[in-house]
C-alpha cells in the first residue's frame, strides 16, 4: 500500500511539473529564463542527473545555450566530450526525432557514462536546437521509452514557446504599421487642397512604405502633372527629372495597369520602354513602381440596365498615380 502511494506521489509530481512547463510556455519571459526553468522541471520530473539545451547560433553552429547540473556528469572533464556530443546532436538535428543513447549500445561513443535522452527543438518546420537529458545509466530498459516520450512531449511545449517568440515581433510590427497607416489617413483628410494632400501623400507615404522617393501625379483630363515629390517643398516642372517622370507616369496611367521595373525592360509593353528608360537614366533608379489611381466607386449603386436587369458597369476614371 505504501509503495502504491509512493508511486502515485511521484506520478502527481511529474504531472504537476509538466503543467508548469505548459503554462510557462505561454509566458513572455526571455528565452534564457524560459529554458532555465524548463530544464529544471524536466530534470526534476524524471529524476535525471543533468540537462542541456543546444541552439544554433548566427553561424548555424550548435552551441550550449543553457544547462542544469552538467558539470557533475563529468562532461567538462572529458576533453573529447564536446566533439563526441556534437556528432550526436547533429544526428538528431538531421532526423528531428527523439531518441536515446546508452553506454550499453554498441558502436556509439558517448560524452559521459549516462543514458542520454535527446529531442529536437523545431520552429517553422526547421530544427534549431536539441534538448539533451543525462539520465542514470542504470535506468531499467523498460523505463527508457517513457522518459523519451516525456522529454519529447515537454519539447513540444518548448517549440510552441519558440513559435510565439517569433510571432510576437511580427504581430507587433503589423500593429505598428496599422497605427501608422491610420495616422497617415487622418493627415490626408485634414485638407481639401490638392497640393497639400499630395505633399502629405508623398512625404508621409515615403516613410510608410520605406522607399527612397515617392512622387504623386495628378491627372487633369489627358494631362498628367507631378504635384509632389518627397523631400521637396516645390516641384520644378521644367527640370529634366520631372519632365521624364511625367512622360513615364502619363503612359502608365493611360495603360491603366501598374508598372514594376526591377532591372529588365524586355517584359514591359513597348509603349512604356522609351519613357521608362529615359526616366531611369535621369534618376539613376534601380527599381521603379508606378501605380495608377482611379476615382472611387460611387456610394450609391448605378441604375440597372433595363434589358439585362444587371448593374451598369462604368469604367472608373484615372485621377493620378504614385511613382515609387
Neighbours of 29 (CB within 10 A): 14
Distance CA 37, CA 261 (A): 52
Neighbours of 319 (CB within 10 A): 15
Closest CA to 295 of 318, 313, 279, 277: 318
Strands annotated E in the chain: 50-56, 62-68, 99-101, 115-123, 126-135, 215-220, 223-229, 259-261, 288-294, 318-323
pLDDT of 84 above 60: yes
Residue 286, φ and ψ in degrees, nearest 5: -100, -15
**How many angstroms from the chain centroid is the CA of residue 299?**
38
The answer to whether position 313 is within a domain reads yes
Q: How much is the pTM?
A: 0.55
Distance CA 117, CA 317 (A): 68
- Are the beta carbons of 40 and 68 closer than 8 angstroms? yes
Q: Are residues 211 and 119 in the same domain?
A: no
Q: Are residues 66 and 198 in the same domain?
A: no
pLDDT of 315 above 80: no
pLDDT of 51 above 90: yes
Indicate the average pLDDT of the chain: 86
Q: Are residues 159 and 24 in the same domain?
A: yes
Q: Are residues 246 and 106 in the same domain?
A: no
Q: Are residues 245 and 212 in the same domain?
A: yes
Q: How many domains are there within the chain?
A: 2
CA 205 → CA 142, 192, 200, 308, 323, distances in Å?
Answer: 65, 18, 7, 43, 11
Residue 226: which residues within 8 A CB-CB, separation 6 or more?
215, 216, 217, 235, 237, 242, 245, 246, 249, 323
pLDDT at 4: 55
Q: Are residues 112 and 238 in the same domain?
A: no
- pLDDT tens digits, one per residue of 212-240: 899 999 999 889 999 999 988 888 999 99
The answer to whether position 78 is within a domain reads yes
> Residue 73 belongs to a domain with what CATH number?
3.30.450.40
Q: Are residues 158 and 254 in the same domain?
A: no
Return contacts of 110-116, CB within 8 angstroms, 24+ apart.
Answer: 110/84, 111/75, 111/78, 111/80, 111/81, 111/82, 111/84, 111/85, 112/73, 112/74, 112/75, 112/78, 112/81, 113/74, 113/137, 114/49, 114/50, 114/73, 115/139, 115/144, 116/88
Could you tell me the residue range of the domain that residue 12 belongs to?
2-168
- Are the beta carbons of 21 and 156 closer than 8 angstroms? no
pLDDT of 298 above 70: no
The answer to whether position 35 is within a domain reads yes
Q: Are residues 14 and 98 in the same domain?
A: yes
The answer to whether position 26 is within a domain reads yes
**How many angstroms from the chain centroid is the CA of residue 243?**
41
What would the mean pLDDT of 26-44 be, rounded to a whole number? 91
The answer to whether position 176 is within a domain reads no
pLDDT at 172: 64
Kindly indicate the confidence band of residue 244, based on its pLDDT and cuts at 50, 70 and 90.
very high
Q: Are residues 245 and 129 in the same domain?
A: no
Kindly indicate the confidence band of residue 56, based on its pLDDT and cuts at 50, 70 and 90.
very high
The answer to whether position 173 is within a domain reads no
- pLDDT tens digits, one per residue of 119-149: 999 998 899 999 999 999 988 888 889 889 9
Q: Are residues 155 and 245 in the same domain?
A: no
The answer to whether position 227 is within a domain reads yes
The answer to whether position 241 is within a domain reads yes
- Are the beta carbons of 120 and 97 closer than 8 angstroms? yes
Distance CA 31, CA 129 (A): 13
Q: Are residues 124 and 201 in the same domain?
A: no
Q: Are residues 205 and 316 in the same domain?
A: yes
> Residue 307 belongs to a domain with what CATH number?
3.30.450
Amino acid at each position: 500500500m505504501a509503495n502504491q502511494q509512493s508511486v502515485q506521489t511521484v506520478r502527481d509530481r511529474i504531472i504537476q511539473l509538466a503543467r508548469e512547463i505548459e503554462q510557462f510556455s505561454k509566458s513572455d519571459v526571455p528565452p534564457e529564463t524560459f529554458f532555465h526553468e524548463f530544464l529544471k522541471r524536466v530534470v526534476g520530473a524524471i529524476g535525471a542527473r543533468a540537462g542541456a539545451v543546444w541552439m544554433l547560433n548566427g553561424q548555424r553552429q550548435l552551441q550550449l545555450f543553457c544547462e542544469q547540473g552538467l558539470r557533475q556528469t563529468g562532461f567538462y572533464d572529458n576533453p573529447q566530450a564536446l566533439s563526441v556530443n556534437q556528432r550526436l546532436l547533429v544526428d538528431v538535428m538531421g532526423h528531428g526525432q527523439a531518441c536515446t543513447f546508452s553506454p550499453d549500445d554498441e558502436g556509439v561513443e558517448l560524452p559521459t557514462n549516462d543514458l542520454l535522452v535527446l529531442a529536437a527543438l523545431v520552429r517553422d518546420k526547421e530544427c534549431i536546437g536539441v534538448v539533451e537529458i543525462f539520465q542514470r545509466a542504470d535506468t531499467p530498459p523498460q523505463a527508457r521509452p517513457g522518459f523519451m516520450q516525456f522529454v519529447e512531449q515537454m519539447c513540444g511545449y518548448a517549440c510552441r514557446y519558440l513559435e510565439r517568440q517569433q510571432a510576437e515581433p511580427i504581430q507587433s510590427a503589423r500593429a505598428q504599421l496599422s497605427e501608422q497607416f491610420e495616422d497617415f489617413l487622418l493627415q490626408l483628410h485634414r485638407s481639401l487642397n490638392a497640393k497639400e494632400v499630395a505633399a502629405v501623400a508623398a512625404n508621409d507615404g515615403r516613410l510608410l512604405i520605406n522607399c527612397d522617393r515617392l512622387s504623386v501625379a495628378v491627372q487633369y483630363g489627358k494631362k498628367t502633372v507631378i504635384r509632389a515629390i518627397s523631400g521637396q517643398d516645390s516641384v520644378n516642372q521644367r527640370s529634366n527629372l520631372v519632365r521624364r517622370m511625367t512622360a513615364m507616369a502619363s503612359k502608365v496611367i493611360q495603360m491603366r495597369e501598374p508598372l514594376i521595373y526591377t532591372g529588365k525592360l524586355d517584359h514591359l509593353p513597348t509603349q512604356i520602354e522609351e519613357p521608362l528608360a529615359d526616366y531611369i537614366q535621369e534618376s539613376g533608379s534601380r527599381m521603379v513602381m508606378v501605380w495608377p489611381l482611379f476615382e472611387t466607386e460611387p456610394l450609391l449603386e448605378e441604375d440597372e440596365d433595363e434589358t439585362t436587369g444587371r448593374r451598369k458597369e462604368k469604367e472608373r476614371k484615372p485621377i493620378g498615380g504614385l511613382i515609387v
